[in-house]
Amino acid sequence: MAIRLQKFLAQSGVGSRRFCEELIKSKKVKVNGKQAIIGTSIEKNDVIEFDGKVISHTESDTKLLILNKPEGVLSSNKKEKDIPIIFDFLPKDNTKIRWISVGRLDINSSGLMLFTNDGNFANYCMHPSSMIDREYLVRARGDFTKEKKQKMLTGIHIDGVKYKFTDIVEGEKQSSNQWFSVCLMSGKNKEVRKIFNSVGLEISRLKRTRFGPIFLPSKLAKGKYIELSNKEIDSIKNYGV
């Protein structure tokens, strides 16, 4: 069955479809030894090369888990003293699977974390070109103003790096605390906390609730995981296309 070349590249973990289209336009992709063009369709027996490396047509055996990470757990595969790590909560009945974390959450944050056995897919999920947004539920203390909101959306430079939200929705106020739902496109280290701190707001609770099209299930208890379906995996591969 023939499929479009850019779709095949995206599903192979090279990048988003838009990114793969740019690769084709830049003449970095060949099909059967010939320069590929936009709109090319490929069959199973065609030889696809990107930067001189052959990309195989192997059937996808990608697996994906979603974990509801508790607070107080390190996003690490190495133990530090007696502090629990995220891999303590993953399945242990199949030692042949090497789980790869898709991004991180700091020790004081909770919520959605994804794990896959497919390195290419993990790289695809984390690469900026894939344009996959993340959503967080935040409780913060301090005075929130329209001016601060605008700064957080326009972008704030911290140590030469620009941080910003793509959306901020104000929620319920509780005394000196207020709830927010925020979205951003990247997964820089402690990015949400840095943005709030830069405008004088102190975060007391931070929870990731969405990664692209995947939402944290409301019935998934902290410390528990479920395996996602091939349809849900494909929804990430085709997100924003």
170-208 residue pLDDT tens: 999 988 899 999 999 988 889 999 999 999 999 999 999
- For residue 42, give its domain range: 3-55
Using only C-alpha atoms, the chain has a radius of gyration, in whole angstroms, of 20
Q: What is the CATH number of the domain that holds 207?
A: 3.30.2350.10
Q: How far apart are CA 154 and CA 160, in angstroms?
A: 15
Looking at the fold, whether 123 and 140 belong to one and the same domain comes out as no
Catalytic residue among 51, 88, 106, 167: 106
Looking at the fold, whether 142 and 196 belong to one and the same domain comes out as yes
pLDDT value, residue 1: 59
Looking at the fold, whether 79 and 119 belong to one and the same domain comes out as yes
Q: What is the CATH number of the domain that holds 33?
A: 3.10.290.10
Q: What share of the chain is helix, strand, coil (3-state, %, to 5)?
A: 25, 35, 45
Looking at the fold, whether 102 and 221 belong to one and the same domain comes out as yes
Quick one: what percent of the chain has pLDDT higher than 90?
A: 54
Q: Note the pTM of the prediction, 2 decimals.
A: 0.79
Would residue 33 be called left, alpha or beta, if left means φ above 0 and alpha means ψ between -120 and 50 degrees? left
Q: Which helix (H) or strand (E) holds 154?
A: helix 146-154
Looking at the fold, whether 45 and 79 belong to one and the same domain comes out as no
Place of tokens 């931070």: 206
What is the token pair recorded at 45? 């027996």
106 is catalytic: yes
pLDDT in tens, 161-172: 999 999 999 999
